[in-house]
C-alpha cells in the first residue's frame, strides 16, 4: 500500500510539472514552507546532504556546515574528508576590531581523533560559530548560523540542479553555495569570505608509511574566464587514461576577488597557522598566482577570497561554485574476468573536457537552472500532501545523485542496490530493487527506458530467461 501511495504521489508531481504556465512561487527562503524539516543540536552531527549530479557522485553538506563524504571520485567514500577544505568569514563593523570564524557550527563532543585529538586537517583549533539550524528540503539545503559575536547574520543555501525530464541539466557535477550575509546594524560592515580547498587529484590511497604516493606534481592554477575567476586543481602526474584522472574547479562570479594558489609550504601546523594569522588580521590574504607543482607525496591548499562592503541594513550574496570532472570509472564490483577492471566513460565526458568548462556552463546558465529547480521544489513542498509523504518522496530522490547510480557516455543508466561505506553493494540493475522503484520512471523516464532496454536487449536469453543483474560493459 505504501509503495502504491508513493507511486501516486510521484505521478501527481509529474502531472503538475507538465502543466504549461503553472504559476509557482520561486521563494528563495526555505523558512517559508512549514513542511521543511528543521534539525538542531546533536541531530546536526548525523546529517549528510548529497550535492551533485546524476552519475557524477556527490559531496555532502554536513549539518554543522562542514563538507563531508567526498564521493566525487566514482566510488562511495563515507566518512571521508578533504584536508583543509572549508569556508571562513571575516567581518569588521565600523572602527571595531575584526572578527574571523570558520563557517561551521562548533564541533560537538565526543571529540574523536586518537592520541593527537581532532585532526588539524579539519582546522580543529580555529574558532567556529556558536550554533546552527539545518533546513532540509531536497534539492535545497539551508543552514542558518548563530553567533552573537558577529555583527552580521549568516545563512548558507546549497544545491545542485534537479530538473525532472531534463537529464542533461540534472547531471552536472557541481555544488552551488550561496552565502547570504546581512548587516542588521546602523554601521557599515566590511566582510571577506574565504573558500579554501586542498588538491586531492591522485589521492586515492595511503601506504604503510602514511605517505600518499598518488600525490605529487599537483598544481593549483589561477583561471579567469568570461564568467568566473577561481582555481583549477589538477595533477601533472596522473595520466589521461588513469582512473584517477580528472580535475576540480573552485570558482566565483564575484568581482572583488583575491586568490592564493598555494598556502605556505611548511611542517606541522605552519601552513594553517600562517594562513589564519594572515586572513584574521584584516580579511585579506597574501596573493599568490604561481603554478609551482607540489613535491612527491604532497599537495597544496588554495584559497579564493570574496570581499564586500555592506551598508547599514544591507546584504550581499556571495556565490561559490565547486565543479569536478572525473571521466574514467573502473568496474571494481564484478569478479567476472570479462568485465573486472574495465574502464567505463562517464556521461560528463560526452559534454565537457574539464571542470572549468562545467563551471563556465553552470554560471552562464544559472538563472534558468535555478528557476527550473525551484519550480520543482515548490511543486512538492507547497503541495497539500502530508508532511511525512513529502519528506519520504523528496529525501529519497537524493539517491539519484549518489554513487548508487551510474550514467555512462552513451546515456545508459545503471544502479547498485545500495552502497556500503567504500563500495557499491549488490550490482547491477537488480530487478528485485530497480523493478519496483518509481522515482526514475516518472522524473527521468529516458533513464528508466535505458534500464528496460538493458533488460530486454542484453539480459534476455533465447529461451526467454531474463537475468536479474547486469554486467557492464554490456
Region of poorest pLDDT, from 96-100, 213-217, 229-233, 256-260: 213-217
Q: How many domains does the chain have?
A: 1
CA distance 167 to 411: 9
CA distance 189 to 307: 11
Q: Is the pLDDT of residue 207 over 80?
A: no
Residue 229: C-alpha distances to residues 90, 142, 160, 221, 225 (Å): 21, 25, 20, 11, 6
CA-nearest of 251, 310, 314, 306 to 283 is 306
Q: Is the pLDDT of residue 31 over 70?
A: no
pLDDT score for 171: 99
Within-domain flag for 366: yes
SS3 147: coil
Within-domain flag for 284: yes
Within-domain flag for 338: yes
pLDDT score for 203: 82
Within-domain flag for 17: no
Within-domain flag for 92: yes
Cβ atoms < 10 Å from Cβ of 205: 10
The CA angle 357-359-363, to the nearest 5 degrees, is 120
CA distance 366 to 312: 29
Within-domain flag for 432: no
- Provide mean pLDDT across the span 451-459: 95
Q: Which domain holds residue 118?
A: 25-384
Q: Is the pLDDT of residue 316 over 70?
A: yes
Q: Is 138 left (phi over 0), alpha (psi -120 to 50) or beta?
A: beta
pLDDT score for 214: 87
Within-domain flag for 339: yes
Within-domain flag for 439: no
- Provide mean pLDDT across the span 125-136: 96
pLDDT score for 119: 80
pLDDT band at 89 (very low <50, low <70, confident <90, very high): very high
Q: Is the pLDDT of residue 188 over 80?
A: yes
pLDDT score for 36: 87
pLDDT band at 32 (very low <50, low <70, confident <90, very high): low
Kindly report the pTM of this predicted structure: 0.92
Hey, what's the cell of 101? 570564524
Amino acid at each position: 500500500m505504501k509503495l502504491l501511495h508513493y507511486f501516486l504521489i510521484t505521478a501527481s508531481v509529474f502531472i503538475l510539472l507538465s502543466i504549461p504556465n503553472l504559476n509557482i512561487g520561486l521563494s528563495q527562503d526555505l523558512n517559508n514552507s512549514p513542511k521543511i524539516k528543521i534539525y538542531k543540536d546533536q541531530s546536526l552531527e548525523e546529517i549528510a546532504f548529497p550535492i551533485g549530479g546524476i552519475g557524477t557522485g556527490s559531496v555532502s553538506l554536513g549539518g554543522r556546515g562542514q563538507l563531508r563524504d567526498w564521493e566525487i571520485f566514482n566510488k562511495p567514500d563515507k566518512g571521508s574528508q578533504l584536508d583543509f577544505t572549508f569556508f571562513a568569514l571575516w567581518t569588521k563593523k565600523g572602527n571595531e576590531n575584526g572578527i574571523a570564524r570558520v563557517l561551521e557550527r562548533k564541533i560537538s563532543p565526543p571529540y574523536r581523533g586518537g592520541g593527537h585529538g581532532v585532526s588539524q586537517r579539519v582546522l580543529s583549533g580555529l574558532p567556529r560559530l556558536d550554533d546552527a539550524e539545518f533546513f532540509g528540503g531536497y534539492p535545497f539545503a539551508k543552514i542558518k548560523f548563530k553567533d552573537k559575536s558577529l555583527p552580521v547574520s549568516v545563512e548558507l543555501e546549497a544545491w545542485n540542479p534537479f530538473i525532472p525530464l531534463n537529464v542533461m541539466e540534472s547531471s552536472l557535477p557541481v555544488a552551488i553555495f550561496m552565502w547570504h550575509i546581512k548587516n542588521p546594524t546602523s554601521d557599515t560592515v566590511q566582510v571577506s569570505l574565504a573558500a579554501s580547498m586542498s588538491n586531492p587529484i591522485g589521492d586515492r590511497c595511503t601506504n604503510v608509511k602514511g605517505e600518499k604516493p598518488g600525490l605529487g606534481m599537483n598544481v593549483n592554477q589561477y583561471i579567469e574566464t568570461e564568467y568566473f575567476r577561481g582555481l583549477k586543481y589538477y595533477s601533472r602526474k596522473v595520466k589521461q587514461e588513469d582512473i584517477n584522472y580528472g580535475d576540480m574547479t573552485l570558482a566565483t562570479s564575484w568581482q572583488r576577488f583575491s586568490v592564493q594558489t598555494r598556502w605556505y609550504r611548511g611542517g606541522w601546523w605552519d601552513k594553517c597557522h600562517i594562513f589564519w594569522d594572515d586572513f584574521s588580521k584584516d580579511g585579506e590574504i597574501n596573493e599568490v598566482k604561481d603554478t609551482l607543482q607540489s613535491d612527491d607525496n604532497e599537495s597544496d591548499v588554495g584559497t579564493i577570497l570574496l570581499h564586500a562592503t555592506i551598508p547599514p541594513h544591507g546584504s550581499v550574496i556571495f556565490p561559490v561554485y565547486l565543479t569536478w570532472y572525473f571521466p574514467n570509472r573502473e568496474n571494481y564490483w564484478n569478479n567476472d574476468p570479462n568485465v573486472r577492471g574495465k574502464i567505463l566513460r562517464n556521461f560528463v565526458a560526452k559534454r565537457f573536457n574539464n571542470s572549468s568548462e562545467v563551471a563556465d556552463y553552470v554560471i552562464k546558465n544559472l538563472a534558468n537552472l535555478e528557476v527550473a529547480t525551484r519550480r520543482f521544489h515548490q511543486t512538492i513542498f507547497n503541495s497539500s500532501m502530508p508532511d511525512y509523504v513529502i519528506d519520504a518522496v523528496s529525501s529519497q530522490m537524493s539517491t539519484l545523485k549518489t554513487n548508487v547510480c551510474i550514467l555512462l557516455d552513451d546515456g545508459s543508466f545503471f544502479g547498485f542496490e545500495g552502497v556500503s561505506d567504500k563500495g557499491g553493494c549488490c550490482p547491477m540493475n537488480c530487478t528485485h530493487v530497480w523493478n519496483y522503484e518509481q522515482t526514475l520512471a516518472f522524473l527521468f523516464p529516458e533513464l528508466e527506458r535505458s534500464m528496460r532496454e538493458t533488460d530486454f536487449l542484453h539480459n534476455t536469453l533465447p529461451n526467454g530467461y531474463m537475468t536479474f543483474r547486469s554486467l557492464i560493459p554490456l
